[in-house]
């Protein structure tokens, strides 16, 4: 079974292009160090009538969109090795500065998940 890091992020609409550029660079680095998949997706059909819709979960403000992202690894141990390398990579040094992010990092939801069904 695989291991997944998942993220839900509120991004100002005016910053989506900057976020895409940032995440394209980050994705290349994660893949280079061994991630199996790196996906960033902007909300399109998220105002569902059941459960807790992503916009409510992310506490979207006016003129923001929700992004759902995930990175797939072989295992948690492999995730930890990959992330250790990623965090040392000078191409992503800007990630250590929350002010350089095109979104409010304090409102980002994230976590690691063990897959229980993998088809």
Average per-residue pLDDT for the chain: 93
Q: Which domain holds residue 86?
A: 3-114
Residue 23 φ then ψ, to 5°: -75, -25
Determine how β-strand 64-73 pairs with β-strand 109-114: unpaired
Question: Which tens digits make up the pLDDT trace of 89-116?
Answer: 999 988 777 787 888 888 899 999 999 9
- Domain assignment present for residue 84? The answer is yes
CATH number at residue 83: 3.30.70.100
CA distance 70 to 82: 14
Q: Report residue 60 as tokens.
A: 């979207």
Q: Is the dihedral of CA 85, 74, 35, 54 positive or negative?
A: negative
**How much of the chain is in helix, strand and coil states, percent to nearest 5?**
40, 25, 30
Which of the four pLDDT bands, split at 50, 70 and 90, describes residue 7? very high
- Domain assignment present for residue 13? The answer is yes
Question: Which tens digits make up the pLDDT trace of 40-62?
Answer: 999 999 988 889 999 888 999 99
- Domain assignment present for residue 9? The answer is yes
């Amino acid at each position: 079974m695989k291991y997944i890091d998942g993220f839900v992020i509120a991004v100002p609409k005016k910053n989506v292009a900057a976020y895409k550029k940032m995440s394209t660079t980050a994705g290349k680095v994660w893949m280079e160090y061994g991630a199996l998949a790196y996906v960033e997706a902007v909300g399109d059909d998220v105002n569902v009538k059941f459960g807790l819709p992503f916009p409510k979960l992310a506490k979207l403000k006016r003129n923001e969109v929700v992004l759902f992202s995930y990175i797939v690894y072989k295992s948690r141990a492999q995730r930890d090795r990959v992330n250790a390398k990623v965090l040392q990579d000078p191409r992503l040094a800007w990630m250590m500065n929350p002010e350089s992010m095109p979104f409010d990092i304090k409102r980002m939801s994230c976590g690691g998940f063990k897959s229980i069904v993998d088809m």
